[in-house]
Amino acid sequence: MSSCLSGNEAVAYAIKQINPDVMGAFPITPSTEIPEYFADYVASGEVNTEYVTVESEHSSMSVCIAAQAAGARSVSATSSCGLALMYELLYIAASCRLPITLACVNRTLSGPININNDYSDSMGARDTGWIQIYAENNQEAYDNFLMAMPIGESPGIRLPVMTCMDGFITSHAIENIELLETDAVRRFIGDYNPENFLLKKENPLAVGPYDVSAYYMEHKVQEAEAMKAAKARILEVAAEFEKISGRYYGLFEEYRMEDAELALVLIGSSAGTAKAAIDRLREEGVKAGLVKIRVFRPFPGEELARALANTRVVAVMDKSEGFSANGGPLFAETRSALYDLKERPYLIDIVYGLGGRDLKTEDIEKVFSRLADIALTGEIGPIYTHMGQRSKEEIE
């Protein structure tokens, strides 16, 4: 059925359709509306979720961890500093192998304090052991949330899943969206029946015991193997989802990449802007293409290397500054993925869009003209630059 919803409304509606056992609810801009809309469903009796209002995000994730360990399906939503406050618990959730689902509405981190979009929140959590799936638009935000549980809860995976969408750009803008029927959603998600849980009377479970150094490494290897295995499971779930929705999802989306010589790699809503710019450039005969990363954890390194193998110059566009002094996090992953190629394209990193700095189609065109120059001259120039800031020097 067709509807008109903001990204936050779409995720709240997905949660309503799923009817999870527990929600750890705490507000923070721009994810506040998710628990807010969902509170309506709770109040009107449309769901029977235990809606736990807590005093902080540290507690909302703690509630989810305890509930999931007890055998309950639990969800939460947060942004920015809220995710940062969950940091310790994100590791606990993942290492206890509790498949919680978290809607992360991406907002930059303080400071200076700012409520707008970039990925510094979820990129800061990229090594916590959570699966991370990013949405370009409202439809993907809804679809990704529905796919999260069948991925994370799969017995061979058992990892928590963070579905990410761009704060305000996606979370608050209203778009046309195709919703599934609730019955179809329930069938797709299925019941949550973990083999063991805290209060199982046959064998009461102890979760998160102290792990001495003789065991810790083995448990981390288990977690790493689960994350590797998640790649296949994500594709399996996407294939099942396609059957009920008609919408196809991969680890990333390739846009006009068949014969692309110049390409971008980026995440999220900027892909819409990039596609518009690429369409225009294609009319002028520029062989431009885009890879939009959907799944960042596990990172689809081998697949990305294959997708970029025949390009000549690639710009990775990072919407978060990692302060590595060596490029942003998406650049680090992409460059590492390309290392095993026999013939590698030139690769540059452009950090853009921090704290909600706008990205226009003209900006994308400027990036492509820089890529074209590199292809023509073979001179790569500065590898790691920022775009969109006011500057005395113009690096374009």
Partner 1 sequence: MIKAKDINERTPWQDLTPGGEIYEPGTARAFNTGTWRTNTPVFHEEACKHCMLCVPFCPDSSIPVKDGKRLAFDYMYCKGCGICENVCPFKAITMVSGGVAL
Judged by the rule CB under 8 A, the positions of this chain that interact with partner 1 are 95-97, 158, 196, 203-209, 211, 214-215, 217-219, 221-223
With a CB cutoff of 8 Å and minimum separation 6, the contacts of 49 are 15, 19, 20, 21, 22, 23, 38, 41, 42
Q: How far is the CB of 366 from partner 1 (least distance, A)?
A: 48
Q: Name which of 156 and 381 has its Cβ closer to partner 1.
A: 156
Q: Name which of 51 and 91 has its Cβ closer to partner 1.
A: 91
Q: Which helix (H) or strand (E) holds 241?
A: helix 213-245
Q: Name which of 44 and 203 has its Cβ closer to partner 1.
A: 203
In 237-304, DSSP assigns E strands to 252-255, 262-267, 288-293, 295-297
Q: Name which of 159 and 263 has its Cβ closer to partner 1.
A: 159
Q: Which residue has the tokens 């540290």?
A: 58
Q: How far is the CB of 216 from partner 1 (least distance, A)?
A: 8
With a CB cutoff of 8 Å and minimum separation 6, the contacts of 381 are 348, 370, 374
- Own/partner contacts of 236-241, CB < 8 Å, gap of 24 or more, are 237/147, 237/150, 237/151, 237/154, 238/147, 240/150, 240/188, 241/143, 241/146, 241/147, 241/188
Q: Can you tell me the distance from the alpha carbon of 239 to that of 357, in angstroms, rounded to the nearest whole number?
A: 36
Q: Name which of 219 and 360 has its Cβ closer to partner 1.
A: 219
DSSP 79: -
Q: How far is the CB of 159 from partner 1 (least distance, A)?
A: 10
Q: Name which of 29 and 95 has its Cβ closer to partner 1.
A: 95
Q: How far is the CB of 156 from partner 1 (least distance, A)?
A: 10
Q: Tokens standing for 357? A: 């700095």
Q: Name which of 217 and 239 has its Cβ closer to partner 1.
A: 217
Q: How far is the CB of 98 from partner 1 (least distance, A)?
A: 8
Whether residue 298 has a cis bond before it, omega within 30° of 0: yes
| Of 345, 329, 337, nearest in space to 287 by CA | 345
Q: How far is the CB of 51 from partner 1 (least distance, A)?
A: 27
Q: How far is the CB of 76 from partner 1 (least distance, A)?
A: 20
